[in-house]
Structure 1
C-alpha cells in the first residue's frame, strides 16, 4: 500500500470548500475514499460539492461555517470529531481578497480580510489542536500562497494577513516540536486560476485579473493530498512561487517597486467597473466552480523559462542600479 492509499477512511476537514482550490481539494481527496468535512459560508455550493465527492466514493458532511468566527470554528471541529471520532487532517484554506488604494479602501474591509485570512486560520488551529493533542497525531495544512513572501501593492490588508500567517505558523511549528506526530504544513502556491479574484472586494474601480502565469487549482489540490499523506513543513507549488520568493529575498526593494509599477500600469488600462465589497463580508451566488477561466495554454513547466528570464533580467537591472548608486 502506498502513502496515498493510506488516506482511505481518514477524516479531512477543508475550509473554503465551496469553490476554487478548496473545492478542487475536496474532489481530489474524495478519490481516496476519505471522510470529508466541507466548510464554507455558501450552503448551496457545499451541497453540490458534497454530491460530487460522494459520487467519487467519499463520505461527506457539510458544516456551514464563517472561519472568522472563532465559535463557529470550534463547532466545526467538534462536528468533525463527533462524526467519526477523530480528525486526521485539517486544511486551512478559506480566504478573501480586497484590492484598492490602502487609504481609499474602507478600514472595515481591511479588517475583515485580516479576520478571514489570518484569524480564520488561527481560529481553525486553535479549535482543532486540543483534539489532535488528545489523540496524539494529526496534520494541519495552511494554504498561505506566495503572498506570504511577496507583497501585493493595492492589496495591503491581504499582504498583512499573509505575512502574518507565515510568522504565526513558524511560531506554531516551534511550539509543536515536542509533538512528533502533529504536523503543521505550509503551502505557497503561485497565482491560481480560481474564481477568487471574481469574488474579490474591488475598490480600484477597474476589472481585476490575476497576473500570469496562473496555475490549475488541481495542482495545489494534488499537493494538499500529497502533503496529507507525507507531511512536509514548507512546499512551493509552481515554479513561479519559488522564483518570486528568491527574487524578493535578493532584491526586496526592487521587487516591491516593480510589483507596484506593474499594478499601476494594469489599472490605468483596465476596463472600469463599479466598486464592490465582493465576498469579503458575505458569500456570493456566482462563480462557485473550481476554475476562474484565467488559465494560460500549456503546462505549468512551460512558463518556467519565461518567468526565469524575467526575474534574471530584473535582478540584473537591480544590481546595475545598485552599483550605479555606489
Structure 2
C-alpha cells in the first residue's frame, strides 16, 4: 500500500465509531511470529465471552474471529509489518475488515478494541514528521493527544476517582488522607503508563520534537516532578508548564495556542496566525486577501501570493502545487482546524494573503 492509498483508507477508518468498545485495531511489527499473535487473539476471544451485553459481546467476538481468519493463512509478517482493523458500524450494521502492510515500518505491537479505530501509529506515514506530545492532567482527569503539522489529535481521555479531603479529625482523618493520596498517586501512575504506551514509539523513532504538559492546578507539577513517565519522555517536556481551564479537545487546542513561544515555526501555530491575519485584512477590506479559483490563479501567475490556506479534500487543493512553485507558503488544513469549514464553505476551499495589491 502506498502513501496516497493509506491516506484515503485512514479517512474511511476515521468515519467509523461505535457506542461500545467493539472496533478492533491491531498492529504487528516485522519479526513477530504469527502464531504468537493468533494465540493472543484467541485469548482475547475467550476473555470477550465475559462481556455482559450480548450485542457488544457478539460484535467483539466477530471482529476477533475475522482478524484470526485473515491472519491464519499468513506464514510471515511482511517487512513493514501488518495493520488490521475489523469492526461493525452499529448505525448501518455494516461489517468490514481491513488488513495491509503500510508504506513504512510498524515498530510497535498494539491490540485494542475501542469505540473508534486507533490510526495514530499510521498518521505520521502520510503526514510530515513534526510531532509534539500533549498531556493535560488534573487530580482525577487527563487528556493525551498529539500535535502533528496542522492537526491536533486527541488520543484518549482518562477519568479516575479521587475524592476531596474529609474533615473527620484525629487518626481517622490522617488515615483517610493517606488513602486519598494513594488513590491520587495511582491515577497519576495510570496516566503515566498510558503516556508511555502512546509516546514511546515516536520517541524511539526520534520523531517527537517535544511534549507540552498542562492542567488547571498542581497535578501537572506533581506529574512532572514524580517518576510517572519514562525518562526519555520527561526529558522532552517543554517549560513552562501550561495553566489550562479545559480538558479534552478544547483543552488541547488551548494548550497549543498558549505555547506559541515554545512552538516557534510549528505549522499549527503558523496557520492559526495566518488565518487571524487574513480575518484582519478582510475586516479592513484593504485588498490584501484573495479567494476564488480564478483570482488565486491570477495572483500565483503574478507572483503576488504570499500565503495560501487550502481545505483538504476540496477542489482547490490542486492550486497548492502551482502556488508552491512560485514560492508561496501553502497550508493544507483538515477539519481538525476549527476554521477549515469556514474556508471550505465561505471561500470554496482556498483563501490567500497577497504580498501586494493587484
TM-score past 0.5 threshold: no
Q: Which one scores higher on RCO, CA 8 angstroms, separation ≥ 6?
A: 1
Higher helix share: 1
Higher strand share: 2
Normalising to structure 2: TM-score of the pair?
0.24
Q: Which structure has the bigger radius of gyration?
A: 2
Normalising to structure 1: TM-score of the pair?
0.25
